[in-house]
Amino acid sequence: MSVKWHEGRVIENRHWTDSAFSLRVEGPRLAFRAGQFVRIALEENLARAFSFVNPPHDPTLEFYGIVVPEGPLSPRLARLRAGDRLLVASNPAGFLVLSEVPASARSLWLVSTGTGIAPFLSILQTDEPWRRFENVVLVHAVRHTAELVYQEMIRQISTEHGLRIVTFVSREAAPGSLGGRIPAAIRDGRLEKAAGLALDHEAHLMLCGNPDMLRDAQAALGERGLRKHRRRNPGHISVESFW
């Protein structure tokens, strides 16, 4: 089936750092579920998947990206300005959605590195997590403090709904954030301590971002008896790899 493309207009390109940017785009009306992604492009033959940051009820599309200097598309996306054209595919997709999380889960852990926070921001702006789970934890690991993005939105959600927040900054000292990496902090108990919540069999974890983190975190969780969730073989972990 050939993909249809919608033409969108950039209304803002916010630069958080030299390499981290958020594009807000108007025009395309898309039906999707929080946590899904869609392919975006400047020309149809060079498209890349981007997760929606906006929740489905918000008609302004938002994408959060990082410049991969040698990458063919992301440096060009970072240079877009208000008024520029962006092509958005008509077929959002993806399984990193709450409808895939077993009804038995009582706590939801949204665990991300870098731009992997994007789908979780969409999920957190919907009502569903607060109706379904006793506790929701957002974990975001970045190299530098300046990449702890969307702090204002996250703080607001925390104030309104009691979201628990754990941040990691791995390449500089950062007061208020853990150092090192997520898998090590699962193993030595620092993650649970920082969240104030046990990672037990009532937890469901959604992991998103760097594929090495997905692999290493699943190994650390596996040592505690938590395994990947499959529809036919229910478990505790859902994953989405960004590359």
Ligand X SMILES: NC(=O)c1ccc[n+]([C@@H]2O[C@H](COP(=O)([O-])OP(=O)(O)OC[C@H]3O[C@@H](n4cnc5c(N)ncnc54)[C@H](OP(=O)(O)O)[C@@H]3O)[C@@H](O)[C@H]2O)c1
Ligand Y SMILES: Cc1cc2nc3c(=O)[nH]c(=O)nc-3n(C[C@H](O)[C@H](O)[C@H](O)COP(=O)(O)OP(=O)(O)OC[C@H]3O[C@@H](n4cnc5c(N)ncnc54)[C@H](O)[C@@H]3O)c2cc1C
Tell me which residues touch ligand Y (CB under 6 A): 37, 48-51, 63-66, 68, 71-74, 94, 114-115, 118, 240, 242-243
Residue number, 84 or 216, with CB nearest to ligand X: 216
Residue number, 89 or 199, with CB nearest to ligand Y: 89
Per rule CB under 6 A, is residue 113 in the interface with ligand X? yes
Instruction: Give the CA-trace dihedral at 77, 78, 84, 88, to 10 degrees.
Output: 30
Per rule CB under 6 A, is residue 66 in the interface with ligand X? yes
Q: Which of 73, 170, 192, 202 binds ligand X (CB under 6 A)?
A: 170
Which residues contact residue 107 at a Cβ distance below 8 angstroms, ignoring those fewer than 6 apart? Answer: 133, 134, 135, 136, 137, 197, 202, 203, 204
To ligand Y, the closest distance from the beta carbon of 154 in angstroms equals 16
In angstroms, rounded to a whole number, what is the distance separating the alpha carbons of residues 131 and 141? 26
Query: Which residue is at the shortest CB distance from ligand Y?
Result: 71
Question: Of the ranges 5-13, 51-59, 60-68, 124-132, which one interacts with ligand X (CB under 6 A)?
Answer: 60-68
Alpha helices (H) along the chain: 74-78, 118-124, 128-132, 151-161, 182-187, 190-195, 211-222
Residue number, 65 or 183, with CB nearest to ligand Y: 65
Task: Give me the residue label for tokens 């994953």.
Answer: 239
Smallest Cα–Cα separation from 232: which of 133, 100, 107, 105? 100
To ligand X, the closest distance from the beta carbon of 158 in angstroms equals 21
Per rule CB under 6 A, is residue 216 in the interface with ligand X? yes
Residue number, 90 or 170, with CB nearest to ligand X: 170
Q: Cα separations (Å) of 184 from 34, 101, 202?
A: 29, 25, 21
Residue number, 28 or 65, with CB nearest to ligand Y: 65
Smallest Cα–Cα separation from 105: which of 236, 214, 195? 236
Per rule CB under 6 A, is residue 212 in the interface with ligand X? yes
To ligand Y, the closest distance from the beta carbon of 64 in angstroms equals 6
Residue number, 51 or 113, with CB nearest to ligand X: 113
Residue 190, Cβ neighbours under 10 Å: how many?
17
Give which of ligand X, ligand Y, none residue 143 binds (C-beta under 5 to 8 Å, depending on kind): ligand X
- Quote the Cα angle for 65-70-71, to 5°: 45
In angstroms, rounded to a whole number, what is the distance separating the alpha carbons of residues 81 and 160? 33
Question: Of the ranges 57-65, 98-106, 139-147, 223-231, which one interacts with ligand X (CB under 6 A)?
Answer: 139-147
Residues of this chain that bind ligand X (CB under 6 A): 19, 66-69, 113-115, 141-144, 147, 168, 170-171, 181-183, 209-210, 212-213, 216
